[in-house]
Amino acid sequence: MPPSSSGQPGQRHDWQTIKSLLPYLWAYKGRVLLALGLLIAAKFANVGVPLVLKDIVDALDASKHPLVVPLSLVLAYGGLRLASAIMGEARDAVFAKVTQGAIRRVALQVFEHLHRLSLRFHLERQTGGVNRDIDRGTKGISFLLNFTLFNILPTLVEIVLVALVLLQKYDWYFAAITFGTIAVYIGFTLGVTEWRMGWRKQMNELDSTANSKAVDSLLNYETVKYFNNERWEARRYDESLAKWEDVAIKSQVSLNFLNAGQACIIALGVTALVWLAAAEVVAGTMSLGDLVLVNAFLLQLYGPLNFLGFVYREIKHALADMDRMFALMGRNAEITDAATAQPLATQAAAVRFDRVEFAYDPERQILHGVDFTIPAGHTLAVVGASGAGKSTLSRLLYRFYDVTRGGIQINGKDIRELQQHTLREHIGIVPQDTVLFNDTIYYNIAYGKPDASREAIIEAARSAHIHDFIAALPQGYDTVVGERGLKLSGGEKQRVAIARTILKNPPILIFDEATSALDSKTEKAIQAELKAISANRTTLVIAHRLSTVVDADEILVMEGGRVVERGTHRELLDANAVYARMWALQASEEAV
């Protein structure tokens, strides 16, 4: 048996999931109504086909009258079948825009929402799993819309029309057996399908887990090779696949049980009805045409009904898939703009960290009362050992997280009172770990200012001392850098990052170990360039190498999330404390 908790969540979310989808459909209400009209008209034509067929059979009954080809009836029969088919195709064509438009809008909103979620969510998520959830969710929308509107609803319409015909033309027990069979069939299908949904949800979860492990392993291909861990990775992946295989087998066996039960119910219903109709013909109360009519109705009705079992199962699966996707939409953005948030518009930005305290986790405090000011146009450097909390400062300034206590201000305004997108427009960063898009070098530099001219992009590359390297490549600026920029060296990636920040030209700059991947000669050239572009800009330099910050207007020394020293390079050396010891240690290391 599946876990006892598996059924209820799906039942609880199904209507919520459908409700979440309705606004996307209502945007195309004209097309939806037209498609419904064509659907109903097609079903009227479809139900009319057996009625005309009955008249044709009766007209060809030689025991009652001479044989004459009933031309008008034959033409009517062909016309109804043609009308049913054409209106069905027209319905699909009309509804195509609804389905694809809804998928596009949902996928776009999920994509945009994922970008609105906090950095905390993206550090915790598994990329492969999220991608799989979105992919299955959008496919689920297509299936749900097409098969709900074009299979379940038409079948229900046809059931009602057939009920009216049977009750009007024949004894009540024909309709009673027909719809009793349908009721048993639907009850059996719903009951077994609900039981099976536990396996399907487990399959989805295990599939996402396995895919996440595969993607994570492939993204870290070099690390796997460095440690010779291919077999370890394969074993981890196979463990996930083995769990998925076990659940998939249980799901398939339960499906076979469902199919067999449905076939038995339909066979019993059809046999009973044909036996009744044949007895009535023998008794002379029904004609051969009536027998053909009842049989045609049964075939016409039970055909889609048999398919309805599959459709219902798949709709339940689609709803489960969509539920995971809409659950992403339901994740609250941790960092949001206040209703009264104001835009930031300045070319002279003074930054103030006012007794800032921060913790990624309540049990692990990162910053303790950090307090400093960077006057507009000045440079402040932060140095310290790894784990001192230096890079956290840049994340807080970008407002990827909100401070736990205290505040961060720009020109005296708390950044929580500013619109996030305008705040980030005013900040440029060269991060320690530069990750590039799997696109061209030109695209990656232009990312700093997508509407910039080619001349401005090339000039930014010159300023970052990477133009000559790019020009020497066979494809030049059109060279594709590979996944995460892995076709470039660390130094080349960092210079691309510097170029796109130069191109952005913001009033606030953050250099987070901006030259850590460069050789000494290139570093000196870049340092001169960074000094030039940071002139008259408010600059926060996060550094490990003290030689890169000697010209800063003020230097902060951090230990354990606290500022333990501050001053200029000369003042800190004269103090002969933490900074002086760090300087002496690095000088001795470089001398070796």
Residues 175 and 300 in one domain: yes
User: Please, what is the average pLDDT of the chain?
Assistant: 82
Terminal C-alpha separation, the chain: 69
What is the 3 state secondary structure string of 71-108? HHHHHHHHHHHHHHHHHHHHHHHHHHHHHHHHHHHHHH
How many CA atoms within 13 Å lie on the side-chain side of 31? 18
Residue 3 within any structural domain of the chain = no
- Any idea what the CATH number is for the domain that residue 377 is in? 3.40.50.300
Average pLDDT for residues 308-319, to the nearest whole number? 73
Q: Is the pLDDT of residue 183 over 60?
A: yes
Element (H, E) at 50: helix 29-59
Q: Is the pLDDT of residue 152 over 60?
A: yes
Helix boundaries (H) for 284-361? 288-330
Does residue 152 or residue 442 have the better pLDDT?
442
The whole-number pLDDT of residue 137 equals: 79
Amino acid at 298: L
Average pLDDT for residues 404-425, to the nearest whole number? 92
Average pLDDT for residues 409-437, to the nearest whole number? 89
Residues 418 and 443 in one domain: no
How many C-beta atoms lie closer than 10 Å to residue 89's C-beta? 12
Q: Is the pLDDT of residue 342 over 60?
A: yes
Residues 447 and 559 in one domain: no
Residue 367 within any structural domain of the chain = yes
Element (H, E) at 358: strand 351-361
The whole-number pLDDT of residue 11 equals: 43
The per-residue pLDDT for range 167-177, each reduced to its tens digit, is: 888 788 888 88
The whole-number pLDDT of residue 10 equals: 42
Give the range of the structural domain holding residue 479, as residue numbers without chain letter.
433-505
Residues 281 and 421 in one domain: no
How many C-beta atoms lie closer than 10 Å to residue 514's C-beta? 27
Q: Is the pLDDT of residue 435 over 90?
A: no
Residue 530 within any structural domain of the chain = no
120 and 401 in contact (C-beta within 8 Å)? yes
pTM of the prediction? 0.64
The last residue of one of the domains, among 302, 330, 358, is 330
* CA-based nearest residue to 252, from 320, 211, 203, 185: 203
Residue 307 within any structural domain of the chain = yes
Residue 149 is given by DSSP the state I
Residue 410 is given by DSSP the state E
Q: Is the pLDDT of residue 590 over 70?
A: no
Per-residue CA distances from 272 to 168, 174, 279, 294, 303 (Å): 20, 9, 11, 12, 17
Average pLDDT for residues 492-514, to the nearest whole number? 88
Residues 361 and 277 in one domain: no
Q: Is the pLDDT of residue 518 over 70?
A: no
* CA-based nearest residue to 394, from 539, 524, 208, 556: 539
The whole-number pLDDT of residue 589 equals: 67
Residue 22 within any structural domain of the chain = yes
The lowest-confidence range among 161-170, 293-302, 439-448 is 293-302
Q: How wide is the angle at C-alpha 338 spanned by C-alphas 332 and 344, nearest 5°?
A: 120
Q: Within the chain, what is the greatest distance between any pair of CA atoms?
A: 124
The whole-number pLDDT of residue 213 equals: 82
Question: Exposure of 302 by Cβ count < 10 A (0-12 exposed, 13-18 middle, 19+ buried)?
Answer: buried
Residues 159 and 59 in one domain: yes
The whole-number pLDDT of residue 129 equals: 62
Residues 419 and 489 in one domain: no
* Cα(469)–Cα(203) distance, integer angstroms: 49
Amino acid at 380: L
Residue 141, C-beta contacts closer than 8 angstroms, at least 6 positions apart: 21, 99, 102, 103, 106, 318, 322
365 φ/ψ angles, rounded to the nearest 5 degrees: -75, 135
The per-residue pLDDT for range 415-425, each reduced to its tens digit, is: 999 998 899 89
Residues 572 and 489 in one domain: no
The whole-number pLDDT of residue 102 equals: 82
Residues 139 and 278 in one domain: yes
3-state helix, strand, coil in the chain (%, to 5): 65, 10, 20
Residues 92 and 173 in one domain: yes
The per-residue pLDDT for range 263-289, each reduced to its tens digit, is: 888 788 888 888 888 888 788 787 778
Q: Is the pLDDT of residue 1 over 50?
A: no
The last residue of one of the domains, among 301, 330, 359, is 330
Residue 291 structure tokens: 């027998």
Residues 369 and 252 in one domain: no
410 and 423 in contact (C-beta within 8 Å)? yes
The lowest-confidence range among 109-118, 464-473, 574-583 is 109-118
Residue 469 within any structural domain of the chain = yes
Residue with tokens 């010779």: 228
The whole-number pLDDT of residue 126 equals: 60
Q: Assign 12 a pLDDT band (cuts: 50, 70, 90).
A: very low
Residue 344 within any structural domain of the chain = no
* Cα(407)–Cα(415) distance, integer angstroms: 8
* Cα(160)–Cα(148) distance, integer angstroms: 17
Q: Is the pLDDT of residue 474 over 70?
A: yes
Per-residue CA distances from 468 to 3, 464, 476, 483 (Å): 63, 10, 10, 23
Q: Assign 354 a pLDDT band (cuts: 50, 70, 90).
A: very high
Residues 514 and 501 in one domain: no
322 and 21 in contact (C-beta within 8 Å)? yes
Beta bridge pairs of residue 392: none
Q: Assign 405 a pLDDT band (cuts: 50, 70, 90).
A: very high
* Cα(126)–Cα(219) distance, integer angstroms: 12
How many C-beta atoms lie closer than 10 Å to residue 259's C-beta? 15
* Cα(86)–Cα(80) distance, integer angstroms: 10
The per-residue pLDDT for range 38-60, each reduced to its tens digit, is: 888 888 888 888 888 877 777 77
Q: How wide is the angle at C-alpha 446 spanned by C-alphas 443 and 450, nearest 5°?
A: 110
Q: Assign 7 a pLDDT band (cuts: 50, 70, 90).
A: very low
* Cα(390)–Cα(403) distance, integer angstroms: 14
The whole-number pLDDT of residue 9 equals: 39
Residue 587 structure tokens: 């000088």
Q: Is the pLDDT of residue 179 over 90?
A: no
The per-residue pLDDT for range 377-388, each reduced to its tens digit, is: 999 999 988 777
The last residue of one of the domains, among 279, 298, 330, is 330
33 and 263 in contact (C-beta within 8 Å)? no
How many C-beta atoms lie closer than 10 Å to residue 485's C-beta? 23
The per-residue pLDDT for range 224-270, each reduced to its tens digit, is: 887 788 888 888 888 888 888 888 888 888 888 888 888 888 788 88
The per-residue pLDDT for range 548-567, each reduced to its tens digit, is: 888 899 999 999 889 999 99
Q: Assign 69 a pLDDT band (cuts: 50, 70, 90).
A: low
Residue with tokens 């909103």: 109
**Domains in the chain, number:** 3
* CA-based nearest residue to 150, from 312, 12, 36, 279: 36
Give the percent of the chain with pLDDT over 90.
Answer: 20
521 φ/ψ angles, rounded to the nearest 5 degrees: -65, -50
Q: Is the pLDDT of residue 4 over 60?
A: no
- Any idea what the CATH number is for the domain that residue 298 is in? 1.20.1560.10
Q: Assign 136 a pLDDT band (cuts: 50, 70, 90).
A: confident
Residue 324 within any structural domain of the chain = yes
How many CA atoms within 13 Å lie on the side-chain side of 190? 7
Give the percent of the chain with pLDDT over 70.
Answer: 90
Element (H, E) at 422: helix 420-425
Does residue 448 or residue 155 have the better pLDDT?
448
Element (H, E) at 405: strand 405-410
